[in-house]
Amino acid sequence: MAATIKDIKELTGLSLATISKYLNGGNLRPENRAKIEKAISELHYEVNEMARGLVTSRSKVIGVVVFDIANVFTCTLLKYLGENFRRAGYAPMICDSQNDPELETENVRFLLSKKVDGMIVIPAGQTAAFLQPARNAGIPLVLMDRSLKGSGIDCVKVNNTASSYQAVEKLYDYGHRRIAIIGSDLEITGKERLDGYLKLLEEKKISVPPQYIKLGHHSIEHGYKSMQELLKLEEPPTAVFMGNFEIILGAVMALNESPFECPSDVSLIGFDDLIISNLSNPRLTLVVQPLRELADSAAELLLKKLEKGESQDNGKNGFSGEESSAELPEGERILPARIVEGESIARV
């Protein structure tokens, strides 16, 4: 089958060690170097990473576990992560959890059996138990987008609460008082964004009817249904804050099917994503997450740990099950989102 260093040895008369040294960038006599290179290209030799990994116990592979791969948000991050890892000589091994905690658990196990050197995780659930095997294995871990409260695992994310506060504040500044939210209290990011909305209402001493607060999943259906219901109210909101991309999709769809117009009848601001907003007419004003920075930062953090050989397990968490302490993760990095202006907000 495939050529091995033994074949190179036959062809060159050199020893295995010399060839290995060549492969790993050691110094050797130019003539030998040339011989080896000739043999390699003749034999179409490729390093067998399994054998190498068995010895070094490092695979140069980084596991990436995402809650849902069929998702603009996720795959943009994957793209940037991939660029970073590549540059550092690592390759990502991507696992899709399909929003299923069981699959997520299995993914972690799987990646461990593949001896990945580290892991990036965008968790599906809200508990860190599924990561315990990885912590036991002592490999570096970095979370993205969603932190796991009290787990002590580093996380890179945006400041959801502050950003959604700003978004709603923009509606407020444009004169809106009847401000609704279509969001989520089931996803952790949704909760944080809801907090921002509520905080602004509280600070500005605005009260809204409970029907203005539509909570469910971050899903197209929820967005669609909620917008329909909002527009049917006797006193519909003049502005709606939409908590994530799927919700935006559903809500805009419902609005398009209704007699209401944006922004004359109802103003909109949404959280997540950028490209897509160009499709809607008028263009949506959005809170855009710095995806590039998120990925770069997470990759850098993980690579740094990889270099230092630092383990995620700090010794305090050697047990499995629920964490009790509410210790603040030391490495939590919170990036600011920015508002990108469209024409979906009217003055009132």
Partner DNA sequence: CTGTTAGCGCATTCAA
Partner DNA sequence: TTGAATGCGCTAACAG
- Minimum CB distance to DNA smaller for 2 or for 326: 2
Residue 216 sits at the vertex; the CA angle it makes with 129 and 132, to the nearest 5 degrees, is 5
Q: Decide: is 325 part of the binding site for a second copy (CB under 8 A).
A: no
Options 37, 110, 127, 236; binder of a second copy; rule CB under 8 A:
110
Q: For the chain, how are helix, strand and coil distributed in percent, rounded to 5?
A: 45, 15, 40
Residues with Cβ within 8 Å of residue 344, at least 6 apart in sequence: 262, 263, 267, 268, 269, 280, 282, 283, 284, 285
Taking the C-alpha atoms of residue 162 and residue 77, their distance in angstroms, rounded to an integer, is 22
- Minimum CB distance to a second copy smaller for 51 or for 334: 51
Q: How far is the CB of 167 from a second copy (least distance, A)?
A: 19
Options 16, 17, 34, 75; binder of a second copy; rule CB under 8 A:
75
Q: Decide: is 279 part of the binding site for a second copy (CB under 8 A).
A: yes
Taking the C-alpha atoms of residue 151 and residue 311, their distance in angstroms, rounded to an integer, is 14
Q: Decide: is 252 part of the binding site for a second copy (CB under 8 A).
A: yes
Options 1, 27, 321, 326; binder of a second copy; rule CB under 8 A:
1
The stretch among 44-52, 119-127, 180-188, 297-305 that binds a second copy (CB under 8 A) is 44-52
- Minimum CB distance to a second copy smaller for 29 or for 109: 109
Q: What's the DSSP call for residue 145?
A: S
- Minimum CB distance to a second copy smaller for 96 or for 192: 96
Q: Decide: is 92 part of the binding site for a second copy (CB under 8 A).
A: yes
Q: What's the DSSP call for residue 63?
A: E
Q: Decide: is 24 part of the binding site for a second copy (CB under 8 A).
A: no
**Cis amide prior to 290 (ω within 30 degrees):** no
Cβ-contact 180, 240 below 8 angstroms: yes
Please name which of 292, 275, 280 lies closest in space to residue 340, comparing C-alpha atoms. Answer: 275
Q: How far is the CB of 281 from a second copy (least distance, A)?
A: 4
295 binds, among a second copy, DNA, none (CB under 5 to 8 A by kind): none
Cβ-contact 74, 119 below 8 angstroms: no
Options 82, 118, 196, 216; binder of a second copy; rule CB under 8 A:
82
Options 275, 308, 324, 328; binder of a second copy; rule CB under 8 A:
275
Q: How far is the CB of 84 from DNA (least distance, A)?
A: 24
Q: How far is the CB of 142 from a second copy (least distance, A)?
A: 19
Q: Decide: is 95 part of the binding site for a second copy (CB under 8 A).
A: yes
Taking the C-alpha atoms of residue 107 and residue 124, their distance in angstroms, rounded to an integer, is 12
Residues near a second copy (CB under 8 A), total: 58
Binding site for DNA (CB under 7 A): 1-2, 4-6, 13-18, 20-21, 23-24, 26-29, 32, 45, 47-48, 51-52, 54-57
16 binds, among DNA, a second copy, none (CB under 5 to 8 A by kind): DNA
Residues with Cβ within 8 Å of residue 343, at least 6 apart in sequence: 263, 282, 283, 285
**Residue for token digits 């907003």?**
277
Q: How far is the CB of 311 from a second copy (least distance, A)?
A: 11
The enclosing H or E element of 267 equals strand 267-271
Going edge to edge, which strands form the sheet with 118-122? 91-96, 61-66, 118-122, 141-144, 155-158, 333-335
Taking the C-alpha atoms of residue 169 and residue 200, their distance in angstroms, rounded to an integer, is 7
Options 282, 290, 329, 331; binder of a second copy; rule CB under 8 A:
282
Residues that bind a second copy (CB under 8 A): 1-2, 44, 46-51, 53-54, 57, 59, 61, 68-72, 74-76, 78-79, 82-83, 91-96, 98, 109-110, 112-115, 133, 136-138, 220, 248-250, 252-253, 256, 275-276, 278-283
